[in-house]
C-alpha cells in the first residue's frame, strides 16, 4: 500500500468522488470525464487507499458529510 502523506483529494479525485456520490457507475463516471472505465477503477483504488475507505458507499458518505459541513459553514472537524 502506498503511503499518502497528503490525504487531501486532488481536483480530478474530487470530480470522481462527486460523480460517485451522485450515484454514477464507473462507466457513467468514465463517460462524464471522457476517460476509460479502467482509468476510473484505478482512480477509485487510489482514492480508497488515500482516504482509507473500502468501497464507494463509504466514499459517498464521506463526501456528503463534507458537503454538509461546507453548506453549514463549518470547517471540517469543527463542532457546532
| Cβ-proximal residues to 80 (8 Å cutoff; 6+ apart), any chain | 72, 74
| Fold of the domain spanning 11-71 | Arc Repressor Mutant, subunit A (1.10.10)
How far apart (Å, rounded) are the C-alpha atoms in residues 1 and 15? 23
pLDDT tens per residue, range 35-70: 999 999 999 999 999 999 999 999 999 999 988 877
Cα separation, 27 vs 6, whole angstroms: 28
Question: Domain locations in the chain?
Answer: 11-71
Question: Rounded to whole angstroms, how far apart are CA atoms 56 and 43?
Answer: 12
DSSP 22: T
Read off the pTM.
Answer: 0.79
Residue 31 has which C-alpha cell? 463517460
- What confidence tens digit (pLDDT) does each residue in 2-29 have? 666 678 899 999 999 999 999 999 999 9
Amino acid at each position: 500500500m502506498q503511503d499518502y502523506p497528503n490525504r487531501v483529494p486532488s481536483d480530478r479525485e474530487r470530480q470522481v468522488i462527486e460523480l460517485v456520490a451522485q450515484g454514477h457507475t464507473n462507466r457513467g463516471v468514465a463517460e462524464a470525464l471522457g476517460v476509460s472505465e479502467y482509468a476510473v477503477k484505478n482512480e477509485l483504488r487510489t482514492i480508497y487507499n488515500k482516504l482509507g475507505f473500502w468501497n464507494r458507499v463509504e466514499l459517498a458518505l464521506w463526501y456528503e458529510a463534507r458537503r454538509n459541513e461546507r453548506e453549514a459553514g463549518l470547517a471540517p472537524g469543527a463542532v457546532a
